[in-house]
Amino acid sequence: MADAEFSHLPQDVRPIAALDAAARIAHIRVARWVQHAAADRVLGYLHEALAQPPRERMENLLLVGESGMGKKMLIRKFERQTIAAVDDAGGVQRRPVVVMLMPHQPTEAQFFGQLLGALHAPVAGHFIRGFPLQDPAVRLLHELGTRVVVIDELNSLLAGTPRQQRVFLQLLRFLSNELRLAFVGVGVPEARHALLSDSQLRSRFTDIELSPWSLSEDLRDFVARLTWSLPLRQPSPVDSPKLRRLLVERTGGITLGICKAFERAAIAATREGREKIDLSSFEDPEIWRGVATPSRTVRTQPRATMAQQPA
């Protein structure tokens, strides 16, 4: 089939639209990054954090968003962007950005164990023999030229005892001062509480938020881009306020629910030979299977995405 037939799709998706149904369904199921305005704004802040010169008082970020808003996808995107930019700087691979997961036990040993794991360093032996892990971790961060450490699921810190939490925040403050690198904490909105018990540290974090989708131009744009990423052979009439309202109501504005509904609608359209998504696609209850109905209030007005933490 000639590419020109799929002129409603971006160039790179057109050859995929020519594949058979099974191959196209497989493509729809694979995770892919869909660009959107809120993500671009957050990526801008992350790149600013990365561009800071080393100094005693680094600006750290706290990125919060409801579960399924796409925080992990966004920080992985940030990581990929920064690796690509410096990869062939010669010899040693540089890792300006390191993404780690907050350990479930907020102890120093667990933290450095996770960090070394994220740096792809072998740690198991050290753990068994009870070696201190701070020195090798600090040395490695230096060698790799790390400027930003992203700690995903920072809210796990709240599972620790108050004492463990305090000690952990002290460690973070020490590392921030000592290494002169920026931390980006990532988590659900409860993660804000995780930093509260250390006011000195808290004042060094600026909050940014990935808010649930509201009925906005940003959502309209996201729906268009999401649809372009799906190899359907016919153009999909999805640019409708009614459709957007349905999406926000059914998902509470959570990205995960929106993406899931579009993927299922695209798979059904491919199987049934309809080859497009429209409002009626979302009337099938099967589309919404397992998509959580909103528990928190659905906002219809966009919220400010960045708020400076009061000192």
Ligand X SMILES: Nc1ncnc2c1ncn2[C@@H]1O[C@H](COP(=O)(O)OP(=O)(O)OP(=O)(O)O)[C@@H](O)[C@H]1O
Range in contact with Mg ion (rule: CB under 5 A) among 63-71, 122-130, 246-254, 279-287? 63-71
> What is the C-alpha separation between 272 and 233, in angstroms, rounded?
12
Out of Mg ion, ligand X, none, which partner does residue 253 contact, by CB within 5 to 8 A per kind? none
8 binds Mg ion (CB under 5 A): no
In the complex with Mg ion, the residue whose CB is nearer, 27 or 152, is: 152
Closest CA to 147 of 57, 53, 72, 61: 53
Among positions 247-286, residues that touch ligand X (CB under 6 A) are 255-256, 259
In the complex with ligand X, the residue whose CB is nearer, 114 or 176, is: 114
Do 262 and 213 touch, CB atoms closer than 8 A? no
Among positions 4-43, residues that touch ligand X (CB under 6 A) are 31, 33-34, 36, 39
Q: How far is CA 87 from CA 51, 64, 76, 81, 108, in A?
A: 17, 29, 16, 10, 31
How are beta strands 60-65 and 182-187 bridged, if at all? Answer: parallel
Q: DSSP label at 195?
A: T
Environment class of 138 (CB within 10 Å of its CB; exposed 0-12, middle 13-18, buried 19+): middle
Interface map 53-82 toward ligand X (x if CB under 6 A): ------------x-xxxxxxx---------
Out of Mg ion, ligand X, none, which partner does residue 219 contact, by CB within 5 to 8 A per kind? none
Instruction: Kindly state the smallest distance separating residue 31's Cβ from ligand X, in Å.
Output: 6
> What is the C-alpha separation between 101 and 186, in angstroms, rounded?
9
How does DSSP assign 278-300, residue by residue? Answer: -GGGGGSGGGGTTPPPP-SPPPS
Look-up: residue for tokens 């744009």?
A: 221
What are the tokens at 65? Answer: 């968003």
Out of ligand X, Mg ion, none, which partner does residue 267 contact, by CB within 5 to 8 A per kind? none
In the complex with ligand X, the residue whose CB is nearer, 3 or 40, is: 40
72 binds Mg ion (CB under 5 A): yes
Range in contact with Mg ion (rule: CB under 5 A) among 1-9, 72-80, 216-224, 248-256? 72-80
> How open is the CA angle 148-149-151, to the nearest 5 degrees?
140
In the complex with ligand X, the residue whose CB is nearer, 104 or 142, is: 104
Instruction: Kindly state the smallest distance separating residue 283's Cβ from Mg ion, in Å.
Output: 31
Q: Measured in whole angstroms, how far is the alpha carbon of residue 293 from the centre of its chain?
A: 21
In the complex with ligand X, the residue whose CB is nearer, 71 or 202, is: 71
How are beta strands 306-307 and 205-210 bridged, if at all? Answer: antiparallel
In the complex with Mg ion, the residue whose CB is nearer, 104 or 245, is: 104
In the complex with Mg ion, the residue whose CB is nearer, 9 or 186, is: 186
156 binds ligand X (CB under 6 A): no
Backbone angles phi and psi of 195, in degrees to 5: -100, -5
Out of ligand X, Mg ion, none, which partner does residue 113 contact, by CB within 5 to 8 A per kind? none
Residue nearest to Mg ion (CB): 72
Out of Mg ion, ligand X, none, which partner does residue 188 contact, by CB within 5 to 8 A per kind? ligand X
Residues β-bridged to residue 208: 63, 306
Residue nearest to ligand X (CB): 70
> What is the C-alpha separation between 78 and 80, in angstroms, rounded?
5
188 binds ligand X (CB under 6 A): yes
Do 299 and 215 touch, CB atoms closer than 8 A? no
Applying CB under 6 A, which residues contact ligand X? 31, 33-34, 36, 39, 65, 67-73, 188, 255-256, 259
Applying CB under 5 A, which residues contact Mg ion? 71-72
